[in-house]
Each structure stands twice: as C-alpha cells, then as structure tokens.
Amino acid sequence: MGELLYNTAGISSYAGAAETINGTMDVEPFTMGYLDYSIPGGIEYSITLSNVGDAVVLTGNAHATIDGNCVRCLEPASMEIESDIEGYFANGPESDLEGLEDDEYEFIPDDGIIDLYPNVLAAIVVEIPPVFLCKDDCKGLCPTCGCNLNYEKCDCSNKIDETNPFAVLKDFFKDESEDAEDTSN
C-alpha cells in the first residue's frame, strides 16, 4: 500500500492552525469483489488539515478516473469520480473522543507523522458503484451466443430451447395479456 505522509508539527503549535495541501497520489491496481480496477492518472486531492485543539481534522476533496470492465458487456470502461475526504486524528488517549466510534479516528503517533493515503483512497473507493457500467444503457452480452448486444444483433432471443425446463413458461402470461387487451376495447 502507498503512503501520503504529513508531519503535523507545522499546525500543532496552536488550536486554529491549518494548512492546505494539494497533489496527485499514485494508486496500485486493486480488486473489489471480483472486479479489477486501476486509477492510471492517480487521485488528485486537495486537503485542509486543521488543529482543533485535541485533534487534527482532515477535510477536502478528491478526483479520479477509474478504469475497469463493464459488468454487462465486459468491455473496458472508465468513470470520473469526485468525492469528499475526511479524517479525524486525535492527539492522544486524553483527547475528547466521546461520541466517536473506534473506526472514526486514529491517534497521531509520537513523531507527529500521519498517513493520509487511506483517507484519500477510501474517499474514491466508496464512490465506485457496485454495478460498474460502460454506459447506463449497456445491453450486455447475449447469454446464449455471447455476442456483445451493443454492437451486434442476434436471433437467440427468438429461439426457444424446448429442452429447457423453463420453456413451458413462455405462454404463461399470454392469456392475461390477451384478456387485458379485450377489456380495454
């Protein structure tokens, strides 16, 4: 995993001190579930770190172009993602952490150096949709012949495999739709 280290010494002298940092963070390709993703241009970030007395609060935004494969047609796909970055780094165990869950903060180590990489990466990763598509109206692959229905047409959907146990359902709603047509006249 990468690192994006920041030394809090510059803002630790008094409450209210703040610093903004900008840059681009490189990210190795990663897998979520069964899908592989890459961020070839890295994650662009703008982060403000503020000393709030007993902690350093991290706020900002991130932008990245995610590359992966469409889950419907398996073609390469890209998506622009913008997201907010947040984090809470407590000065020590004596900090006021009331109301915060254990996973909502980290402690600043004795050397004052914190790693912002997980916060920046998480901001982008949580915005990746569970269904990654090349386009919203992707038609996907034909489940019978495998052709990409975005580029080709096939007549597989017109063929009924009579050996398929579900073939008996082909006329299941036919009577109801005919009845509906008769009552609308």
Q: Note whether 64 and 85 are within 8 A (CB).
A: no
Is residue 112 a contact partner of residue 9, using CB atoms and an 8 Å limit?
Answer: yes
pLDDT tens, residue by residue, 38-73: 999 999 999 999 998 888 899 999 999 999 999 999
φ, ψ at 122 (rounded to 5°): -60, -35
Is residue 107 very low, low, confident or very high in pLDDT (cuts 50, 70, 90)?
Answer: confident
Cα torsion for 103, 89, 84, 23, to the nearest 10°? -130
> In the structure encoding, which two tokens stand for residue 87, read together?
């984090």
Prediction pTM value:
0.76
The strand pair at 30-32 and 113-115 is best described as unpaired
